[in-house]
Amino acid sequence: MISAEEFLVRHPVRMPDRTSVVGNRNDRAPDISDTSPRSARDASGGTGDDVMSESRDRGLPRRRATSFAARQAAPEDPSDADECREAALRLLDAAPRSSGALRERLLDKGYDGETVDAVIERLIEVNLLDDEYYARSAVRYCTERLMGARGAFMELLRKGVDRDAARRAVDEADARGVFEESAWELGRRYARKTEGMEPNRRRQRFWSAGGRKGHDPETLRRVAQELL
């Protein structure tokens, strides 16, 4: 049996290093502002989503999520009519579309032209696509925005409506006087907005707005003379 003094000589007691208690620099929790997948796994042993969630809680920037459209792969068979039809129905369920707009979207997804045309023709046959109805609805939307006949016609073409269908819908609305009323409502709004301004400036602002919305110049002139 040895004495306590001899034991301490043989087995000296080492004081704990300060860094070992509080954690040295390399052992500290890593900075989660770096949210790359590798750093996320190395940092926490979890996935990148775990780190993104923690970043949101701390108000730190997070990685931009990949859009659903970007994750979608091209169809395995571009001529698969069933798959093309399902894609068309999903698009129509998301928002009303003209046949032209729907065709463009399906082609963008990678389906071939003949398959797309066949699918669209079938959708028209079963009344799931109706360009005439869509055009009339689009004209109502345009008049709610106080657009004129020319502006509405250009908007329908932009939305993929057939030129003839767009012309019929616009002419029908024009015959009912809806674009005339839109011009007068636009004039009343600008009369209120520009009250107190110099008359030429009031008319200039109204004319600029009416021109951008595609109103007939003669109609704008009559409204300006009456209201401004």
In order along its 228 residues, the chain shows pLDDT tens digits of 455 455 445 555 454 454 443 444 444 433 433 433 333 334 334 444 443 444 444 343 343 343 444 345 678 889 889 999 999 999 999 999 999 999 999 999 999 999 999 999 999 999 999 999 999 999 999 999 999 999 999 999 999 999 999 999 999 999 999 999 999 999 999 999 999 999 999 999 999 999 999 999 999 999 999 998
Q: At what angle do helices 81-94 and 99-109 cross, to 10 degrees?
A: 120
Model pTM?
0.62
* Residue whose entry in the numeric block shows the structure tokens 């571009």: 78
List the domain boundaries for the chain: 79-125, 131-227
- Quick one: CA dihedral 140, 142, 144, 148, positive or negative? negative
